[in-house]
Structure 1
């Protein structure tokens, strides 16, 4: 005999009637008479009791209901004592009872993302973007993965408003699969119209409908999952973040048919350099961490349970890190009893913050899929939504879309550069290889910027490849993926190499001259780029701006040696401080002869 105790809501107001439900599960092959006692205790003090009985049929679950009125505020415990034919059991559940007051606004924010798992040829390195939709990861509780389960819960509890970030790279993979199917690098094929692909189409339609009926705020972001604050603060990749955000917001708009007001900052990797970028793209709000960002905030700071205006340009919400982490990481749930208790504890904890606005923000898929017991996590989340829905009916909670929150009353001027982890070593430092690969990335980025400056325009396909190489999921220490980083860096450099087609050679290898006297050096260029390109030539102290025309051309430059002797000197062709061409000449430099007019000079 197993017994589970539950309530309609783990939070009530004084004077409410609490509905109690006891489920008796008889795993034996015969009926059992069960005697039940419910004791109602307030802060350890016995207040009332209920006594009853039930016949538990073999192999079935029997439900017994009771109710009682809570007369005082405090933490109540409902204790169940049962006697099933001499076999005794005890269970309990807690109920927080409060005085009257305004409902707490609750913003649930789910960050659902997948890196671009596809290769440059369209084949997929991994299929998590699809598997987390159609695979029976949560069986037997739910026949599907976390992306489908979230959509299912949204429909089941349609009064619960939420905020969901579906990363643009995830949306693109879904759309591509629906339109043409998908193929893995191992040769596995999922055709358009297959059951797996049809499930992906279904989940897309569900999210569209939920957003359009006003249940969801859809957050956008940069296209992939880059650590924005790190890129902008350390490597000054303002241009990369700027254009990738524009593309990401356009993907969100075109796929889901909404104009996103908020954006998710991947890894909550913030730096103040992002503020103007967000303002430029019309971003209304983002969500950062109450544990890692909020302590360093400067300005009119109250608590994490209210919105803030950052320099009048962006509304910032700070998540309750403790509550978010409970949901994120307490995800190995052995049984239904533990699932119910965790859902009840979370529900009480929301009320116990006494916050005006409580933001719970976390990855939407990982706490389910990466659990050892994903079915039980699904049951827990279903129970949490059941509690939230009932608490909303009771006027204890008001779930909200973040775009519905009133304008901030407080203004702040600075948020420190950090991530939800309190730093960036997870992506640069925890693995020995990190340093080597960041050098590859930064060298490739400088190659790109310099070539664009020389050409006078953006090389969009190269920038697209760079976004992919920078996806933070590939850099995460425990899931380090050098295969895809190398693939996309290689694709970036292949594109740039195909655009840069210039050769340079000196007409002579050796030049004679005198110290501090000009030497004319002539260079020949072969430009196969079909357009004029602008570079800077550097040799010794000489710097000359060049416009190199298509085809073959000769350019003469004058250099002035400052040292006597025979030595080699390099000639560089650069753009934006990146060296594109390099050659050498040998100089034979003698001391200068005295000018004729000084030969007979007397002191």
Structure 2
């Protein structure tokens, strides 16, 4: 029997409402699954909430219940809050704990832009066969069990759909998008002869993931960054070889694929490895790119 605690946030302020899901796994033959949830401020030993519920089987051997409570409005300063779930079922006991942050309400909100970088290089050979399946594996592979199903790309899109008021910037590299599109339409074959048809459940998950990202773009939940197609190190090519023509060609390809697959003309571009050169300004500008993202520590003197 395993327990997973899934709070609706990893950080709260005093007075917030908290919703915490609890999943109990491997309890297929249990009729009475009692779940207790406790929340307390760790360094002060102050109990905030304590409640017991009976969990219901929702999928074969998995039970689920939801706890909802409000944090006290009186301030304890910035602190850590522990959330502990103790489960009794079929003469077995299991317990799981995690810590979340508890903060005072800020007097002034900080304006911040979060940029996510999602990229897979071309994993295919000149003959079209794949030497690795990472563009697809990180969609369907259950990397976060027991908390949720799916890989990072799938889970990321799912989480965004749960928080429509959170707006961030997401780079989906054109080479990643192209490989998703190709697999959805034609499936793919690995160099050792394994063929995965487009009807495979794994490819269906890729299709669902791409649709979720397209929906997030269309509803302005995310702003998409494009880039050159294959994550070419731009600053290096300009500085050492003066290959501006190659960069322009690859950038135009990336912009076109982003538009064709996601239906958006991206205003920003990801600069691979943030390998900057000032001559990129002219190249970006002539292609309609208005901004990029660079590391303040490495590129700007304080």
TM-score range for the pair, normalised by the shorter chain length: 0.7 to 0.9
Cα separation, 1, equivalents of 2:219 and 2:51:
46
Which of 52, 69, 72 matches 2:72?
69
Looking at structure 2, the residues matched to 256 and 235 of structure 1 have their Cα atoms a distance apart, in angstroms, of 33
Deviation per residue, 1:360-413 (Å, 9 max, x gap): xxxxxxxxxxxxxxxxxxxxxxxxxxxxxxxxxxxxxxxxxxxxxxxxxxxxxx
Query: Considering only CA atoms, is the larger Rg found in Structure 1 or Structure 2?
Result: 1
Alpha-carbon distance in structure 1 between the residues aligned to 2:9 and 2:167: 20
Asked if 1 retains the 8 angstrom alpha-carbon contact of 2:22 and 2:66, the reply is yes
Gaps of 5+ in 1: 302-603
Question: Could you tell me which residue of structure 2 aligns to residue 128 of structure 1?
Answer: 134
Partner Cα distance (1:248, 1:160) in 2 = 26
Q: 1:197 Cα deviation (Å)?
A: 3.1
Helix, strand or coil: the match of 1:258? coil
TM-score by length of 1: 0.40
Q: Number of matched residues?
A: 288
Question: 1:207/1:19 Cα in 2 relative to 1: closer, same or farther (>3 Å)?
Answer: closer
Correspondence for 2:227:
221
Whole-Å separation in 1 of the counterparts to 2:187 and 2:246: 30
Contact 1:79 1:90 in 2 (8 A): no
- Aligned-pair distance for 1:156? 2.6
**Conserved 8 A contact 1:18-1:69:** no
Give yes or no for contact 1:136–1:144 (8 Å, CA) kept in 2. yes
Q: Which residue among 160, 178, 181 is the counterpart of 1:154? A: 160
2:108 paired with 1:107: no
Stretches of structure 2 that go unaligned for 5 or more consecutive residues are 56-61, 88-92
Q: Output the aligned Cα RMSD.
A: 4.2
In structure 2, the CA distance between the partners of 1:227 and 1:11, relative to structure 1 (3 Å rule), is same
* CA gap 1:157/1:118 in 2 versus in 1, 3 angstroms: same
> Is contact 2:229–2:250 with CA below 8 Å preserved after alignment?
yes
Could you say which residue in structure 2 is the equivalent of 1:98?
Answer: 105
Partner of 1:11: 12
What TM-score do you get using the length of structure 2 for normalisation? 0.75
CA contact (8 A) 1:12 1:18 kept: no
The within-5 A match list for 1:452-601 is none
Instruction: Classify 1:98/1:73 alpha carbon distance in 2 versus 1 (closer, same or farther; 3 Å).
Output: farther
- The 8 Å contact of residues 174 and 226 in structure 2, kept in 1 or not, is answered as yes
SS of the residue aligned with 2:161? helix
Task: Quote the offset at 1:148 in angstroms.
Answer: 2.0
**Counterpart in the other structure of 2:244:** 238
CA distance in 1, matches of 2:65, 2:182: 48
- CA distance in 1: counterparts of 2:21 and 2:63, whole angstroms: 14
Residue 74 of structure 1 deviates from its aligned partner by: 2.4
Q: What SS does structure 1 have at the residue aligned with 2:297?
A: coil
